[in-house]
Structure 1
Amino acid sequence: MSWYMDKGPDSDVILSSRVRLARNLVGHPFPSRLDKEQAAVVSNKVSESFFGETRDHRAEYLDVDLGCLPDEDRMALVEKRLISEDLARFGECRRAIISRDESVSVMVNEEDHIRIQAMSPGFDLNAAYRKAESVALLLESRLPIAYSGKYGFLTACPTNVGTGMRASVMAHLPGLAMAGLLRGAVESLGKMGFAVRGNYGEHSQAAGHLFQISNQITLGLGEDELIADLGRVAGQLLAQERKARKAVYDTDPIGLEDRSGRALALLRSARRMSSAEAMTLISDVRLGLSLQLVEGVTEEALNRAIISIGPASIQKNAGHPMNEFERDVERAKALHTILI
């Protein structure tokens, strides 16, 4: 089941857990050095190896040639967190193998030849890792993977060398922001070796107080150690956020209840809405829901709203080109459908 359709552990703060595993093929330059013909060879090799001669996994996975998709469709996959923006931007000779439940995706010819991504709802890094590992083992059994006995898995980015693993959680941190504690928390995470980015990863903004926290260095560390380290830090952040939410509520309970209630009412009744405004309002409702200040809405519905209201998703669902004003109108309609 998709991470946004299920309620996982500690999902009031941690929306999802993700594990990525980077792998590269022996005898081929990294994707940034591939010409078109070489990139096509790598793309086809990975697809053929994953599905096999009998096309096993076909019932569970979609094989998507990104070069054949319109720009909006590729960006809609980014908004659903199924592929990276870089993979979408340079779609030619790039591929995504996506599980039908949207919990696993294999990105081909991104920064590395193969990037396996697995997601789980809530705070459950181990579940995400088990999914990613099973796909990695399948591909490693069928393809010549670049591996060094001294360094581990060889990757395009030196910080991924070793396990090739990048683990992350997506956290909702409005309490720390409202209490004026967010900057200090982010700086502390950076000093401990963890990256804090916007909800779409590197170079993205933290819309709706959503942040992605991930490990930065893998060399010399095992998978279990990396997951344990991130789990410990994310657990501390989770406790700090809950404490901050309580402090904000204790300071002005009526004001916070009014804020979250107004946000839900506006999401359900507005005639047009930008994605930035929608994310801010969804954040306010999520905060109110966690403190039992609003009723009649679920975390799952709010998660679905988050992944459905990006510009590309709105345009893809409409099925025709739209300007910004038209997208804002369609976005408001989509929010009504999801949240009422």
Structure 2
Amino acid sequence: MVGSLERVTQAIKAYSRFLITWHVDPDPDCVGSGLALLLALQALGKEVIAVSPDPLGDWFDFLPGIEFCRVFEAGFNPPVDAVIVEDCEPDRCGGLVPFLKSGVPVINIDHHGTNRGFGEAFYIDSQAAATGEIVYELITEHMGVSLTRDMATNLYAALSGDTGTFRYSNTSSRVLFIAGELARHGADPGAIAAHLYENKPFEEVNLIREVLDTLEISPNGEMGWITVTRMMLGERQWSGQRSEDLIKYPRMIKTVKLAIMFRELELARTKVSFRSRNNIDASKLARLFGGGGHMYAAGCTIDKPLPEAKAMVLEAAAELLAAEGAGVSGGEEGKGGNGRNSGTSQTAGNDLT
């Protein structure tokens, strides 16, 4: 681990007006963790707003406290005392980055192992399954706030998202204990799962069909990949959860050790997501292209057209599998580690989804 929750708590007590933000392509962990923390700060009498660097899909609407969240707009300059950046380092906060570098005090909470920690106070635990696990500990053990049903709902959504609905190898006994405590405080697992995973419009299900038509697999079956073009997306909003929903398909093929999703952002800009298993280090591949993340979930953004980026990544991925894939077995996919209280440091540019 890097930093301490004690120092984070001291910084929280020192300020009265907060902005909470998270990474681009928001997912259930960053939004759920952020809203739970927002409600906890309000319980302490703090003034708090949440600002998302990217639009939120309407499937986030069920999360308590979402009414206190707005989407970033150019020229935004809120009158706050400090900013809490959670589930990422500040460089992943899109249009908010200049504001975060303007001298405003920053508090950083994250579980990505490539994050070195930023700001006046920080806590990075790469062994936490989700930032929601860290925020649960912060609220219940350090802030002196009683957990409410609304906080529990947000944190359960956070844990569910980053553990693949408690299927990934980062689903430790600690995670299951916390999930049980959240349910005991009023979180409804069935309702949360239905909102997150069984509430899609036809257009989104149709996108899955289009993307599956692009599914390819390497000759030896160890690598599978899909492609999402701008034409497929049209005017649809993207979210980090959609990354998970799509990349799971090549990953579920029995022989695949490394799943890749290519997403065309612009004519000369491509987002690449990696999910792996069997001890294949996806973050090593992502770092080759300026990205980062976890061992089993990582990503990068490449300033190249889709076909060129695709060729570069597939060549590097094949080399990685040839070097590391022979005879390995064991670990399964996940977005974090098993357990807590250990950590490594992070480089800027982490682009997990």
| Larger CA Rg, structure 1 vs 2 | 1
TM-score, with structure 2 as normaliser? 0.32
Per the normalisation by structure 1, the TM-score is: 0.33
